[in-house]
Amino acid sequence: MKSIEISIVVPVYNGSRYLRETLHSLLSQTIAEFELIVIDDGSTDGSSEAVRSLNDDRIRLIQTKNAGLAQALNCGIAEARASYIARSDQDDISFPSRLERELQVLRDNPDASGVFAYITKFGRKQSWANLDKVRISPGRVKIFEPTKDGCMVGSTMLMRTSALQASGGFRQEYYPADDWDLELRLAQAGKLLVICEPLVAYRFHASANTYRVFADMREKSRWAEDSYLRRQASTPELTFEQYRRTAARNIWTQLRHFRKDSSALHMRIAGQKYLDGSYIAGACHLLASIILRPSAFVMRIRHLIGRA
């Protein structure tokens, strides 16, 4: 193998259904010299066999006991041999020029520690360009602002290995918002960039873990944001239990969070149904989301009209 600049880390847990397609998208990149580190986090569905079947010497398969997503990612980071680390989840699809485009951006911006990109969403029958949230501008690169941009999709990340290792990596206690916690810490430690065009197709499917952990993800996200603000103020972070006790004091805040979270979940399910072609079910969930939080829907429509 020639000298490599990029280590791609793919954590896998029972992901055999889509794994070959994901890995094929990475092995077909316009940049051919990289290592592809697949961390099988104790799968029981033949995921490792799916990886071996590809028979590509750029792949390194590491099998571990099940310890969770964050630990699998940290294992990949520790194993990385290259100067840059890219991440991909087990079911997303990287566009052929993703790595080449991201690498060039970091070469052009030596003061930046990492870069993310926009996504498209896709299901069984439809796709969606995310125009209700972002303005797609091919060729444009902007500075990542967490409070404005929100959590970027982990499968779009390319980081300098030194910066990622210096951050301490992913923190399992923040799962399933560990990616948001990491992005907030990375943004405080250095300059991050966003490529304002989709370079990854993010797969929506009903079996995604997101639905099972949605409520926990929303609460852990708020904890991550609380920790972010405390670091800015040079005050100690709270443990999750401390944060929950603090947050539980205000019943009205809890009710507001419940309404927002429920609206967001219905909106996500509505998107899932639309992408899978279940339009009536999607419309029902969309209506529920609107009733719970009409202002969020109006904002999305304004964005969509302004960005179309």
* Structural domains of the chain sorted by starting position, each given as residue range(s) with its CATH number in brackets: 6-203 (3.90.550.10), 209-307 (no CATH)
User: Rounded to whole angstroms, how far apart are CA atoms 240 and 181?
Assistant: 13
pLDDT tens sequence for the chain (308 residues) = 468 999 999 999 999 999 999 999 999 999 999 999 999 999 999 999 999 999 899 999 999 999 999 999 999 999 999 999 999 999 999 999 999 999 999 999 999 999 999 999 999 999 998 888 888 999 999 999 999 999 999 999 999 999 999 999 999 999 999 999 999 999 999 999 999 999 999 999 877 777 788 999 999 999 999 999 999 999 999 999 999 988 777 788 888 899 999 999 999 999 999 999 999 999 999 999 999 999 988 988 887 776 54
Cβ atoms of 10 and 88 within 8 Å: the answer is: yes
- Cβ-Cβ contacts under 8 Å for 298 (sequence gap 6 or more): none
Burial class (CB in 10 A: 0-12, 13-18, 19+), 165: middle
User: Rounded to whole angstroms, how far apart are CA atoms 85 and 81?
Assistant: 9
SS3 51: helix
Predicted structure pTM score = 0.93
Q: Smallest Cα–Cα separation from 21: which of 46, 54, 45? A: 54
Indicate if the alpha-carbon torsion angle 175, 181, 183, 185 is positive or negative: negative
Cβ atoms of 132 and 301 within 8 Å: the answer is: yes
Number of helices and strands in the chain (H, E): 13, 10
SS3 63: strand
- Cβ-Cβ contacts under 8 Å for 229 (sequence gap 6 or more): none
